[in-house]
Amino acid sequence: MSAFTPASEVILRHSDEFIERRVLFAGDLQDDLPAQLETAHSKVHTQQYHHWQTLSRAMGENAQYSLVASAEMVSDCDTLIYYWPKNKPEALFQLQNLLSLLPVGSDIFVIGENRSGVRSAEEMVSKWAALNKIDSARRCGLYHGRLDINPEFNAENFWGEYALDDFTIKTLPGVFSRDGLDIGSDLLLSTFTAHTKGKVLDVGCGAGVLSTLLASHSPKVRLWLTDVSAAAIEASKATLAANQLEGEVFASNVYSDVSGRFDMIISNPPFHDGMQTSLDAAQTLIRGAAKHLNMGGELRIVANAFLPYPAILDETFGSHEVLAQTGRFKVYRAVLSRAAKAKR
């Protein structure tokens, strides 16, 4: 998070507006503008752990990572700058949470790329504030209004679930595969065999689908699940509990908070960060795997077939194999050998 995004560049066009304001930044924060914009006071709430890691280094306790913003974090702010995410239900969850806590009369600024559907913000918050478009630049729209009434917010109302085989998958807005099993994860699951043993790390766990299905036919596995999304962390915890499974679930930016070694690392890694294409997480996942695998341990991931992961797998492990593939996806397996470890 160094260069400013187009959305932040639009905010900077109005920088004089915020000098004397107590600003809460929230939503799909992709850079460190909250730490740099001149204001009377700035705070950040984010559901993304990797964004919090960067912002907390500069802002300390004024940056908060959690599923739900706290009243203490929000109540002394008089302005919200909300970065619209690509997921509309996620935006509703976050905005309803934040607007339920902000003082009536607070100014609301919503900024987002046009392709993300930011124009939906006007209708979404119309019961609580009248938003009007005040700027359009860098393929982004900036909307402004004042909070007329606090909405009621109850996070429990946003939970969803679906059945997968004989299991219950619990979900929240913004969680990957919220409405059902995605094709890539289904292909990866097809490669699992019964009676897998040992320690398994599920990176980018989402709603906990991979771990739940793996444990269903391999009860001797021990599970660790990580994700950057606070919503995914809570969904995975709920999914394990709903299916009477045990596992340690915690926030981590790939391996940032992971310790120890594992017998298997599994993942359906993302190749987007918000609206932007990014292979950083997947590349970090592959290159760092050797430091977190036991000898003979394996990394097993599914990815879009066009992504350049085979070369990185071979560079890291010396070789790889394709366990399954369709026209769109491939499941890759790479095993940590002594030769590969010696290269590290």
pLDDT digits (tens, 9 = 90+) for 120-166: 999 999 999 999 999 999 999 999 999 999 999 999 999 999 999 89
What is the reported pLDDT for 195? 80
On whether both 224 and 332 belong to a single domain, the answer is: yes
> Over 70: is that where the pLDDT of 1 sits?
no
Q: What is the mean pLDDT of the chain?
A: 93
CATH code of the domain covering residue 67: 3.40.50.150
Instruction: Mark which of 154, 180, 213 sits at the end of a domain.
Output: 154
On whether both 185 and 290 belong to a single domain, the answer is: yes
Instruction: Mark which of 126, 154, 182 sits at the end of a domain.
Output: 154
What is the reported pLDDT for 238? 98
19 φψ region: left (φ > 0), alpha (ψ -120 to 50), beta (else) = alpha
What is the reported pLDDT for 308? 85
On whether both 29 and 163 belong to a single domain, the answer is: no
Whether the full predicted model's pTM is greater than 0.85, yes or no, is yes
On whether both 180 and 149 belong to a single domain, the answer is: no
On whether both 96 and 218 belong to a single domain, the answer is: no
* Intra-chain end-to-end CA distance of the chain, in Å: 28
pLDDT tens figures, 89-117: 999 999 999 999 999 999 999 999 999 99
* Helix axis angle, 209-217 to 230-242, nearest 10°: 30
pLDDT tens figures, 83-95: 999 999 999 999 9
The total of structural domains in the chain comes to 2
On whether both 129 and 202 belong to a single domain, the answer is: no
b/e map 229-254, b = 16+ CB within 10 Å: bbbbbbbbbbbbeebebebebebbbb
On whether both 231 and 316 belong to a single domain, the answer is: yes
> Over 50: is that where the pLDDT of 277 sits?
no
What is the reported pLDDT for 278? 57
What is the reported pLDDT for 228? 96
**Residue ranges making up the domain that contains 335:** 159-341
Instruction: Mark which of 154, 189, 204 sits at the end of a domain.
Output: 154
What is the reported pLDDT for 340? 62
